Amino acid sequence: MTVQKRRLQVILFCSLALMTLGLTIGMQTIDRAQAEPHLATKIQLWEQGAREIDRLVQVNLKQNKLSPNKMASDATFLRRVYLDVIGRIPDIKETRAFLKSKNPNKRKELVVTLMNSPGYVSHNFNFWADILRIKSRPIPQISGEPFIHWIKQSLQENKPYDVMVREMLTTNGAANEKGNGATGFLLRDRGMPLDSMANTVRVFLGTRIECAQCHNHPFADWTQRQFFEMAAFFGGLQYVNEMFTKPEGRKLLRQSRTIGKQQGELAARNLRRQVRRVLQPGINNSGTGVARLPNDYAYDDGKPNDFVLAKTLFGKPAAINPKVPKIPRRFAERMKKAKNKKRMMRRSFAKDIRSRDAFADWLTDDENPLFTTVIVNRMWAKLMGHPLVPAIDDMREDSVSVNPDLSAHLNRLMKDLNYDLKAFQTVILLSKTYQRESETSLPQAPERFRFPGPLSRRMSAEQFWDSMLTLVVPNIDSTITEPMSLRAKAVYDNYELLSGKSAQEIIAQFKGPEGSMMSQQELRRQKRMEFREKLRPLRRALVQARRRKDKQAEAEALASLKALGIDGDNFLSQQRYGRELLRASELPSPTPPGHFLREFGQSDRDQANGASTAPTVPQVLNLVNGFVEKNLLAKRQGMMLSALRRTQKTDQKIRLVFLFVLNRQPSRSEIASWRGDAAKIGEPAIFDLIWTLVNSHEFRQLS
């Protein structure tokens, strides 16, 4: 079969499939039990939890006259666990090491190794970025980089989930000050506390109450009044750095409006931008516990603009006692005479009683009937392909788990582990249920799926992108920066530079070499040029040291780069393979429209869980004429092409491509077929093999 015919056949196959589809990081296993004395005990407890999962699944299957799938092969398990834990397929070294290993505990050891690798942070950041709607630039005046840094740092530290949620709901302070990244959660809905409460309840309690913002919920018991009672926990929330409530902050705001007359319009514009973008964003006020009903409220349980007090939707009450504030007599008299009474009535005069803290305590309490259930449901669906409670973020009173006993066990486990998501996922990964062959499709009624094995599904956009990079860039995880990226560092440095400064001192930062005023764009360009000048000799020194195998010189160059916030290996990799070939977690969040990631379903981050794995025609066109041709088949320095150049025999090349792309050995018939093509057309057949496998359903599927 000619190359052209085979490619046409694959294009048709891909199109039909898309239309119908609606060890080691290195496997040199160190004895982690010796390195961490308590790890062996932890693993034993995790295995006990995993065995209970298997028992409960087995009982449920038997009750429904079903049988579990047989255990997956090492090759299938290897690929699955890499994609599920670190978000990419294994590279050739990792694949060979695991498949050749005779260690009976190699699966368990691989799980533990992957869970403690940089890829874990990268992949789980992508997961949470979709749920929390994380953007590098959520709105023009706000940088999302501190929040991104905080999420990655929390994942790296393995911060308990309930602690993370509490910090997101209660942290106050300047958004761009180092250490305050958790403010990014509430700043995501800046100026919209009602939307913020609706998103919070949806994400962390799996309940959608946004309909009740405008009227009584048509499909649930929530009323509009109850919605505003919940919103009252965010009463008094201010989206501004605390310093702007103080005299020096207010003075700076006044100066930013009037400085033009003294310093010129360029100075005034630069000052305003710095104040608005760098200094002013933040979260202030810990909550009054008071809100007002809307102007058009039309139900019998209240009047328009009435005060409502914070009250939880269900479960035990929150530990606060808000009171209806008293309106000063003078203000009441002014309001009688005012033309715009509606605007004046929005003032509450309520005092800060830390109602956000009380709300966070109530929400994260392990007695809250939904908090644990929702995160258990998300983690199970993440690894097993389908949730235990089908409505993952729209739970109702009649929502039932497909296996209530298993859900109860996992809820207890999550609490016993103190919301350690890494340990919880490890328990699932160690179970036989996870390690069985996958199911290719759901039954017609999804609630009848009993988990005889994980559900096969398509890779996410980020998994697909990161897996493609694994075929090109050696040691792709070296492109994962420390949690604080250069973008986040620039935000912190800028805040530290300007915080506490007067208007004149801030303007002085924009003085050029001859005292002339510079625009922000000119200043950034100058700083970039200065930074590049520092990097150039260090890059040269690092490359020369490695060529000479001078370890001391190499260490000195790496240390100098690190002092500038640069990872040497990552830096050289970007220089050689391109700055765009970074793991998805290191690219702007989200990537721009038209990028590979967006075409393959990356969320625009406007709604929670906005990502898609649905197949589309543009995906076919991209695979046919885009990334594969440009990077896999054209970059001769790429991992796979470099390995192929060092291989002489045709059969070895065929095996190599299968190990690279599908992480398994080819069958005899596959070798014979491609050997025949190579005999007819020579070297182009190997390129055709690469193209075919990358475009195959098997590569795109997480099985």
pLDDT, tens digit (0-9, with 9 covering 90-100), for 546-605: 778 888 888 888 888 777 777 766 666 665 666 788 899 999 999 999 999 999 999 999
DSSP 278: I
Task: Identify which of 460, 490, 657, 616 has the alpha carbon closest to the alpha carbon of residue 564.
Answer: 490
Question: Which of 111-115, 250-254, 301-305, 650-654 shows the lowest mean pLDDT across its residues?
Answer: 250-254
Q: Report whether pLDDT(11) > 90.
A: no
Q: Report whether pLDDT(25) > 80.
A: no
Q: Report whether pLDDT(181) > 90.
A: yes
Question: Which of 49-63, 103-117, 230-244, 610-624 shows the lowest mean pLDDT across its residues?
Answer: 610-624
More confident residue, 422 or 212: 422
CB atoms within 10 A of CB 280: 23
- pLDDT value, residue 341: 56
Using CA atoms of 548, 550, 551, 554 in order, give the dihedral in degrees to the nearest 10: -80
More confident residue, 544 or 123: 123
The residues near 458 (Cβ < 8 Å, ≥ 6 apart) are 21, 613, 615, 700, 701, 702
- pLDDT value, residue 265: 79
- pLDDT value, residue 32: 43
Q: Report whether pLDDT(76) > 80.
A: yes
Q: What is the pLDDT of residues 87-141, one digit of tens each?
A: 999 999 999 999 999 999 999 999 999 999 999 999 999 999 999 999 999 988 8
Give the three-class secondary structure for 283.
Answer: strand
Q: Report whether pLDDT(283) > 80.
A: yes
In one-letter notation, the amino acid at residue 213 is: Q
The residues near 369 (Cβ < 8 Å, ≥ 6 apart) are 314, 315
Q: How far apart are CA 436 and CA 77, in angstroms?
A: 8
Q: Report whether pLDDT(154) > 90.
A: yes
User: Would you place residue 39 in the very low, low, confident or very high pLDDT band (cuts 50, 70, 90)?
Assistant: confident
Taking residues 200-209, what's their average pLDDT? 93
Give the three-class secondary structure for 458.
Answer: strand
User: Would you place residue 31 in the very low, low, confident or very high pLDDT band (cuts 50, 70, 90)?
Assistant: very low
- pLDDT value, residue 10: 45
- pLDDT value, residue 578: 65
- Reported for 61-65, long-range contacts at CB under 8 A and 24+ positions apart, including other chains, are 61/450, 61/451, 61/452, 64/448, 64/450
Distance set, CA 498 to CA 25, 487, 699 (Å):
43, 17, 50
Taking residues 626-640, what's their average pLDDT? 83
DSSP 630: I
What is the b/e burial string over 192-208, where b = at least 16 CB atoms within 10 angstroms of the residue's CB? Answer: ebbebbbbbbbbbbbbb
Give the three-class secondary structure for 307.
Answer: strand
- pLDDT value, residue 16: 39
- pLDDT value, residue 17: 41
- pLDDT value, residue 104: 95
H-type alpha helices, 584-635: 596-599, 617-625, 627
- pLDDT value, residue 646: 92
User: Would you place residue 397 in the very low, low, confident or very high pLDDT band (cuts 50, 70, 90)?
Assistant: low
What average pLDDT is seen over the chain?
86
User: Would you place residue 19 in the very low, low, confident or very high pLDDT band (cuts 50, 70, 90)?
Assistant: very low
Taking residues 148-170, what's their average pLDDT? 97
Find tokens 């020579």 and name the residue. 682
- Our CA angle for 490, 170, 242, nearest 5°, is 60
Distance set, CA 339 to CA 342, 348, 390 (Å):
9, 19, 52
Taking residues 18-47, what's their average pLDDT? 56
Q: How far apart are CA 183 and CA 175, in angstroms?
A: 6
Q: How many residues does the chain have?
A: 703
What is the b/e burial string over 161-170, where b = at least 16 CB atoms within 10 angstroms of the residue's CB? Answer: bbebbbbbbb
- pLDDT value, residue 522: 65
More confident residue, 20 or 700: 700
CB atoms within 10 A of CB 138: 20
- pLDDT value, residue 189: 94
User: Would you place residue 342 in the very low, low, confident or very high pLDDT band (cuts 50, 70, 90)?
Assistant: low
Q: Report whether pLDDT(210) > 90.
A: no
Q: What is the pLDDT of residues 460-495, one digit of tens each?
A: 999 999 999 999 988 889 878 778 788 898 899 889
More confident residue, 547 or 225: 225
Q: How far apart are CA 354 and CA 363, in angstroms?
A: 15
Question: Which of 176-190, 375-389, 633-647, 674-688 shows the lowest mean pLDDT across its residues?
Answer: 633-647
More confident residue, 442 or 189: 189
* Diameter of the chain measured on Cα atoms: 96
- pLDDT value, residue 668: 95
Using the Cα atoms of residue 508, residue 514, residue 517 and residue 520 in order, give the sign of their dihedral. negative
Question: Which of 67-76, 303-312, 518-527 shows the lowest mean pLDDT across its residues?
Answer: 518-527
